[in-house]
Amino acid sequence: MAQSKGATFQPDYAVCPGLLLKQELEHYQLSQAEFARRIARTPKLVSEIIAGNNPIEPETAIQFERVLGIGADLWLRMESDYRLHLARQTDAEQLAASEAWLEDFPVRDLSRWNVIRRKGSIGQKAQDLLAFFAVASPAAFEQRYKCVTVHYRKSAKFQASRPALLAWLRYGEVTAASDQVMEYDESRFRETLNEIRNLTTLEIREFKPRLEQLCASSGVVFRLIPPLPKTRLSGAAFWMLGRTPVIQQSLRYKTNDHFWFTFFHEAGHILLHSQKAMYADDGEGSGDSIEAEANDFATDVLVGRRRLRDFISSGRTSVREVKTFAAECGIHPGIIVGMLQHYKALPWNKLNSLKATFEWEYPESVA
C-alpha cells in the first residue's frame, strides 16, 4: 500500500535538454550566436536554455527540429522529464523537513501495515503517508482533516492521538473501498441486525464470514483492523464517500461482550446519526447524548432495556441464572455478564469465565 496507485519507475536523475543542445552545437561547429540567428531567437535565450534556466517551448522545439534534425517531441520529452525531476527534488527537500509532522503518526505500525516503506528517508516516508491520505502536503493534510468531525467517546484518563486516530480510520476507509457491496438499504440493515444477533453464540471464525456477508447484503462494510498505539479504539462508524456505511472494529479487548456491544453500538450510529461525522469509541469512556443513544440502541437490540432492568432488579447473578437469562434472550451469556458489570450489578472480577475470548488472524497487510 506504500506505493500509490498508478506508480511507475522514477529514475533519480534527468538530463537537461540544454546539455544535448550544447553537444549538438559542438558537433556541427555552430556558435550559440549563429544558432540563435538560424532559429530567429536571441543569443541570450539560447544561453539560458543550455544552462537549464529557460524551458524549451513547443515552438522552439520545432525550430530546433528544423535546424538540428532532432524531433521536436524528443526535445519536449526531455524538457518535461527534466522539469518534473527538478520539481520532485524540490518537493523531496521540503518533505525532508517534515519529520515533526511524521512523528505525530505511528510510523512503525504503519510501516508494518505496508502503508509506509520500512526503509527510506524522512521525505520518502512522508511521501508514502501523504499518498495514503490522498493529500499533496502536510499543509494540505491539515486543511483536509481540520474539517473532519470525529465524534470520539473516550476515557477521561486517556488523551487520544488525533493523527493516529485518523490513520486507523483511513486504513479502514482505504481497505473498504475494494469491497463489493449492495447499495445501502436502511430497512434491510435493521432487519439484518436480528440475524446478526443470532451469531453471538458462535466462535469468531464461524461468525466473521457470515457477519461480513450479512452486512454487505445491506450495503454496509464490516472491517476488523487492529488498534494503533495512542488510540485505544474498540470500534468506529463512518460513511465512505457519503454513500456506503462502514463499521470498523479492533478486537482490542478480545472478549465477546465488548465485541458485540461495540458492533451494535456502531450500527446505532449508522442508523441514528449524521452521515457527515465519524464516530470512534474506545469502549471505556462515557459520552454525550449521541453516545447514550447508540448505547441504548445496542442494549435494545441485544436484550431490551426494560428486560435488562427487570433482570438487574431481580438480583439474579449466579452462573445458572445468567445462563438461563441469556438463553431466554438468545445471546451468549458473556454479553449479559458484560452488561451487568457495566451497570455495576456485578463486580468486574465476577463471572468472567462466562465470556468468550476472541483471537483473530488479521490480513497479512496488517499482521
Task: State residue 5's pLDDT score.
Answer: 46
Q: Check the CA dihedral 349-262-191-215 and report its sign.
A: negative
- Whole-number Å distance between alpha carbons of 109 and 225: 12
Alpha carbons 313 and 307: distance in angstroms, whole number: 10
Using DSSP's 3-state secondary structure scheme, residue 260 falls into helix
Q: Within this chain, do residues 351 and 232 fall inside the same structural domain, yes or no? A: yes
Provide the pLDDT for residue 179. Answer: 80
CATH number of the domain that residue 41 is part of: 1.10.260.40
Residues 71, 172 share a domain: no
SS3 label, residue 39: coil
Split into its structural domains, the chain has a count of: 3
User: What pLDDT, on a 0 to 100 scale, did the predictor assign at position 180?
Assistant: 78
Kindly state the cell numbers that stand for 282: 474506545
- Quick check: 346 pLDDT over 80? yes
| 276 and 353 part of one domain | yes
Share of the chain above pLDDT 90, in %: 70
Both 87 and 104 in one domain: the answer is no
- Give the model's pLDDT for residue 181: 81
118 falls within a domain: yes
Q: List C-alpha distances in Å: 105 to 122, 174, 233.
A: 13, 17, 15
pTM over 0.85: no
Distances from the Cα of 316 to the Cα of 45, 163, 178, 326, angstroms: 93, 45, 47, 12
The predicted pLDDT at position 178 comes to: 81
- Out of 109, 125, 142, pick the residue that ends a domain: 142
Least confident of 21-25, 239-243, 256-260, 281-285: 281-285
62 lies in the same domain as 179: no
Residues 180 and 322 in one domain: yes
Question: What single letter denotes the amino acid at residue 313?
Answer: S
Select from 86, 111, 142 the last residue of a domain. 142
H/E stretch holding 223: strand 221-224
Mean predicted confidence (pLDDT) in 339-358: 94
Domain boundary residue among 60, 95, 130?
95
Q: How confident is the model at residue 183 (pLDDT cuts 50, 70, 90)?
A: very high
The confidence score (pLDDT) of residue 140 equals: 94
Residue 240 and residue 321 in one domain: yes
Query: Which carries the bigger pLDDT value, residue 264 or residue 154?
Result: 264
Q: What percent of the chain has pLDDT over 70?
A: 90
pLDDT of residue 362: 62
Q: Is 90 in the same domain as 109? A: no
Q: Is residue 7 part of a domain?
A: no
Is residue 9 pLDDT above 50, yes or no?
no
The pLDDT assigned to 280 comes to: 85
In a domain, 2, yes or no: no
Q: Cell for 321?
A: 441464572
What does the pLDDT look like over 227-271, one tens digit per residue?
Answer: 888 887 889 999 998 899 999 998 888 899 999 999 999 999 999
Is 170 found in the same domain as 272?
yes
Nearest Cα to Cα of residue 17 among 69, 96, 77? 77
User: What φ, ψ does residue 244 adopt, rounded to 5°?
Assistant: -115, 120
Terminal alpha carbon distance of the chain: 14
Residue 255, in any domain of the structure:
yes
The answer to whether position 12 is within a domain reads no
Convert the pLDDT of each residue in 88-146 to its tens digit.
Answer: 888 888 888 888 899 999 999 999 999 999 998 898 999 999 999 999 999 999 999 88
- DSSP annotation of 229: T
Confidence check: pLDDT of 148 > 90 = no
Phi/psi region, residue 255 (left: phi>0; alpha: psi -120 to 50; beta: rest), is beta
Domain presence at residue 351? yes
Q: Are residues 106 and 200 in the same domain?
A: no
Instruction: Tell me, yes or no, whether 1 lies in a domain.
Output: no
Q: Check whether residue 91 and residue 105 sit in a common domain.
A: no
| Residue, of 150 and 312, whose pLDDT is higher | 312
Residue 134, domain member (yes or no): yes
Residues 293 and 208 in one domain: yes
Where in the sequence is the domain holding 126, given as residue range(s)?
Answer: 99-142
Mean pLDDT score across all residues of the chain: 89
Query: For position 210, what pLDDT does the model report?
Result: 96
